Amino acid sequence: MSTSSAPVRSAGRPAATDHLGHVIFITAAAAMGGFLFGYDSSVINGAVAAIREKYQVGSGTLAQVVAVALIGSAIGAALAGRMADRLGRIRVMQIAALLFTVSAVGSALPFALWDLALWRVLGGIGIGMASVIGPAYIAEVAPPAYRGRLGSFQQAAIVIGIAVSQLANYGILQAAGGDQRGHVLGLEAWQLMLGVMVVPAALYGLLSFAIPESPRFLISTGRIDRAKAVIAEVEGADSDLDARVAEIEHAMRSEHRSTFRDLLGGRMGLLPIVWVGIGLSVFQQLVGINVAFYYSSTLWQSVGIDPSSSFLYSFTTSIINIVGTVVAMVFVDRIGRKPLAVIGSAGMAVSLALEAWAFSYRHGADAALPHGQGMLALIAAHAFVFFFALSWGVVVWVMLGEMFPNRIRAAALGVAAAAQWIANWLITVTFPTLSDWNLSGTYVIYAVFAVLSIPFVVRFVRETKGKSLEEMG
């Protein structure tokens, strides 16, 4: 790090306070992709039972339709980093918005099961792109003093998207008389649930035209004056703009457009830091968090809760998710990323173990839980989501946006995000079959992964709190 960078940071932090409102707007607009990510990921929860009935499919085929979007997400995540380096961060956001819009319309008007799956893949590609470009863009425009909290906007937007989708599903279900196949506005309720996403998708596209390109991308393409203008927008015009540009150029001097080849090295094929990023992504999914959002309605119905109430419980879970995320946003820059991750892992392990114990009292596929165990299962499920939200939900997205050296950030973030989507797909596609086999045993598996994540964080994860991106290597 050059000595000229120190006064820039010290001068830039107070200026960031003056411009924090504008920075928050920029961050929130970029995080709209996270909102769509959460909305699209969770909205299928309200359509699962109707799709099974309409197309007369079993658990295995249904799981493939639910999870196929995640294959698209892995593809989108793998492509986004390279596209962002070539086309710019904003252009990738616009492409993702277009894919979301097309997916919403197609999913609402499918001809058959195969084209419903196709539209979900397209939406998944948009999700994958948004999952990469959001954290990367936010990390690049946010002042270091606020980067953790601003980086948390991505996860906050995701959980708000989940909550809004659950609320929209509940409202549409009520309008359809509690029947997922009842008609509203000329469509079956489940079709309208999937189609409503066209509204936030269009908003995301419009907002992408109202925010500036990343200073680092502008500098990489020789647009120095524009980069200075953007830095002044987010750090204050009284910042030493020439020194900030020089600092970024110094960090980028030895860089080239990162590719997968740049990630190779070490005894296990990839650079150690890349494996750490992959590990964070995979553990985030292997605890089974998305089971709570993809299958929660049908899960609660399976233990004796009526359909309308099951949608309501799904919505309350989303509210808990938001509360936990707010807690994380408050503490992520105060106590650090690693402590939050360890606290969350311990809480998730206990909650999942309690869920496993409660569901062990379910005897038979159609049997309801005893009242006491049913209440414990509900409480433990909400506690699990809360501990996830205050830790891994936020920490992983923040760290993936800031943990990699500049020269490999885009490619490494793409690989880590792709690994996350593959793990998400694995959990999503296996849950129906595993739950038919042994629901309690399934939660034991998730609890074991929560326990294993603790030594992983303690041993391999490096704290990034308060460090500039240039300090990461």
- The residue type of 289 is I
Q: According to the model, what pLDDT value does residue 468 have?
A: 59
What is the SS3 assignment for 308-341?
Answer: HHHHHHHHHHHHHHHHHHHHHHHHCCCCCHHHHH
Q: According to the model, what pLDDT value does residue 392 have?
A: 92
Question: Radius of gyration over alpha carbons of the chain, in Å?
Answer: 22
Q: According to the model, what pLDDT value does residue 307 have?
A: 60
Tell me which residue has tokens 């959001």: 134
Q: What is the pTM of this model?
A: 0.72
Q: According to the model, what pLDDT value does residue 260 have?
A: 67
Q: How far is CA 63 from CA 70, 420, 429, in A?
A: 11, 18, 5
Mean predicted lDDT score pLDDT of the chain: 81
Tokens of 400: 């993936």
Beta bridge partners of 187: 184
Tokens of 199: 């509204």
Q: Please give the DSSP secondary-structure letter assigned to residue 471.
A: G
Beta bridge partners of 264: 270
Q: According to the model, what pLDDT value does residue 33 have?
A: 87
Tokens of 123: 């939406």
Tell me which residue has tokens 């609402």: 108
- 192: pLDDT confidence band, cut at 50, 70 and 90? very high
DSSP 137-148: HHHHHS-GGGHH
Q: How far is CA 417 from CA 40, 73, 131, 260, 414, in A?
A: 17, 9, 7, 13, 5
Contact 297, 48 (CB under 8 A): yes
* Most confidently modeled range among 125-129, 420-424, 432-436, 466-470: 125-129
Q: Is residue 11 predicted with pLDDT exceeding 50?
A: no
For 60-95, write each residue's pLDDT tens digit.
787 788 788 888 888 888 788 788 888 989 999 999
Q: Is residue 420 predicted with pLDDT exceeding 90?
A: no
Q: Is residue 416 predicted with pLDDT exceeding 70?
A: yes
Q: Is residue 213 predicted with pLDDT exceeding 80?
A: yes
Contact 4, 236 (CB under 8 A): no
